[in-house]
Chains A and B, each alone.
Chain A
Amino acid sequence: AQSVTQLGSHVSVSEGALVLLRCNYSSSVPPYLFWYVQYPNQGLQLLLKYTSAATLVKGINGFEAEFKKSETSFHLTKPSAHMSDAAEYFCAAYLLNSGGSNYKLTFGKGTLLTVNP
């Protein structure tokens, strides 16, 4: 089945350090890809999206992600972590549902980012 996998349910970095959150997808055709962020007790906010244009996508709050077809990956990075980046991050992709009849936005299980002072 087509799926989205986020490696690492919890990532901890120091303030000012590089943030790298990993996302891989399984699909024979490169899908539309998204990263969302969720702060405690809030809904999800769209960080950035890939829709087959530039492979390096810039988003809000200094985040960016690079689409690599050969690695079926869409990792999220930020050069310097800030305390306010502490949140849960979800990778998502439009993938065919199990019946193959339509596309469904499929989410990874999320990565909780902790930023230490």
Chain B
Amino acid sequence: EAGVTQSPTHLIKTRGQQATLRCSPISGHTSVYWYQQALGLGLQFLLWYDEGEERNRGNFPPRFSGRQFPNYSSELNVNALELEDSALYLCASSLPRGEQYFGPGTRLTVT
């Protein structure tokens, strides 16, 4: 069974640009979660989508947004990129209140 997949693996952007990150969950999982892992800051919860709806949001500005498509895949958009947005962005999927399975991550570098 295929695990959680994320694309691209690496993304390099310039300050002020927009970044789009994609995630495909494990088949049958309806919940998708996004996390930011910046150096020295640990794992920070960004967004939770379930059945196409945003269920919860972490303490991030509105320029971090996303959506979940009918096939349960998800997209994370980061507008007006800042240098401190450089981080590993992890996507996870789960059944309701089940264990979360993580993808390999997208390394975003903002220069």
What is the interface of chain A, defined by CB distance below 8 A to chain B? 32, 34, 36, 41-46, 49, 90, 94, 97, 102-107, 109-110
Contacts and interface: CB of A to CB of B under 8 A. Distances in A.
Contacts of B103: 43
Interface stretch (B13-21, B68-76, B79-87, B93-101): B93-101
B25 interface: no
A46 B101 contact: yes
Given A32-B97, A107-B42, A110-B42, A43 B104 contact: yes
A116 B57 CA distance: 40
B97 A43 contact: no
Given A43-B105, A46-B99, A102 B55 contact: yes
Contacts of A45: 102
B90 A43 contact: yes
A-B pairs, top 4 by smallest CB distance, nearest first, are: A43-B102, A44-B102, A109-B42, A107-B43
Q: Is the interface of A mostly helix, strand, loop or mixed?
A: strand
Contacts, number: 44
Q: Is the interface of B mostly helix, strand, loop or mixed?
A: strand
Interface residues of B, number: 20
Interface centre among B4, B33, B97, by most A CB within 10 Å? Answer: B97
B64 interface: no
Contacts of B100: 34, 46, 105
A106 to B, nearest CB: 8
